[in-house]
Chains A and B, each alone.
Chain A
């Protein structure tokens, strides 16, 4: 069985027809992890025993008594709490931390009978765009092992691209699902803020974080989002979807208007990316859709606003890692303040410390208005820009990332260059809008993603449009790891 051809739906069908057992399916993926993960490095933790035990329980249940997705495997970004399973955010400070509870999305997947293969690498506390900020290991792009998979959900994207899991969950604060999905040639979706409960997602920036699916195609994304969406009493900011999602079926785009965000096609955008993007625009035309260029003047300020708001919230969210109740505690401190200082100095990596410092600074009295208040105003302006744009068009499109996957180490010494990776994805987070990245083609053998942004709670329509575009684009090749791993 070719693991690279398997979607999660195909897994479900094979289980449903009895062609494979859940144990066989889980072993198939565990074998693939074994075969390639020493090169790709997606997984921080492989729960072989737990997954096989879960699979055996599924296999012991008669097929007609199983839930639709029962027995299908999945892997989780290492910031989603799973009761009793080490969850570290790829940080030294949470080494050995075993949450006493399941995240709401984890509980939902567990209730639906999905099997957890393990936890996936990421930038420490989701801060980064290359997964190089993991304190544990590098994750390499399955298309070119000398390149990064993107981030922060680099493990989540790479594991789907390398067929180590049929699908995975990631989180997206400024592009952390869509950008790695783009760089690894998979589908990644950030839902409208509030569609998925954040309870049990270890917070980076609470007002921006959303959990979402990374999958091999659009229909799997629809299926996985439907499994995890919903209002949750444990998360006051959650509202769920207006109606359950149905499988997208749309194949033409007649009558739909797409706005091309001009600000994202500037000099930061690589020519190769631009070329693939133009091809996508042509495909939309061919499918009956209309495209026009639009200006959203405030989105260019998105990056600046984001790098105030996100660190501000993070500086507070990460204050609880103080060595008192869980995680790392430095030995040999002489008093309380010394214990705090040592624990946090040893436990956090450079990028996390940088953002805690920025966030602490912008919230300080005397600077709050100049930074935080201004950033919130900018956020409102960006939301207004989008609202106006959605008065003219149904969806907005842009490249997901201005560049293809870059070389390992290429941007680690230049935070600003790294931050630019999320130029096109950040505004959707600031405005709370749903956005999806789908593979649009290759540039010099590397995947390029197309981002489609919709109005609030337009998930169903957005998935329909993405499905229709996907029918005309798609990737013509498999990642190099597929050849090497076979």
Chain B
């Protein structure tokens, strides 16, 4: 794709083509509707996947696009989950406003934390994210009256969506709701990565040293994307609280922070769909492997992760994209 160009209009078209919707994308989102018809018994799993995929997208924005490696992003997932859960326990079970507030809350905390995050790099950055995650976990554990501590939060009741659609036992409403939120947040993220801001994030990832030399306030960019990412993670957590009516400490756990990075690396970073694909593979593999042997299912995940990292350095989606490019 290196055809020379002769006019500014053409380079503008070239930039526009890069953000155009491909048939693969449309097919993917249509396929996301299939569980309603083909796999109704798997709808709760499908909701779980949609929630985890949303969480993985939030991590992709900072890790895949801006190059912030994090091992503590469950902090924002859990904050959103507890926020949505607690306001429901305290009497406000309206899902949409509750969810928006949960996302906003996580986003505000994310913005505050971002001032610390942008001060450190490399190993220190990973340790700071990890440390903040652990702090939040123990804080939730200690605030027993508010969070229920190790017993988890009890008494969450989520009202019907728009006063019409009750959350049913089979998960029809749950999946429709999570899929709609996932799709909207995906649209926002897709626009973000195809905007000038997305370009600035790629600039930071490509060469952070050059950014000040072109007059960029790159730390400001990083703070903004971190807050947006935290808000999206908070929405994912809020969705989990509302669709399962339970929030426990595991929503803030290190394991959740680590799993989401594994999902992202399996699928491929910096392409949004990698986050979704990685989540599907991870959770379906877990579902199937746990069916075979509930005790040792991480063995299979570990094997898969090593195969991907060793033979597909850009993740499964990056590998597939290369095959498609070659066959053109």
A, B co-complexed: no
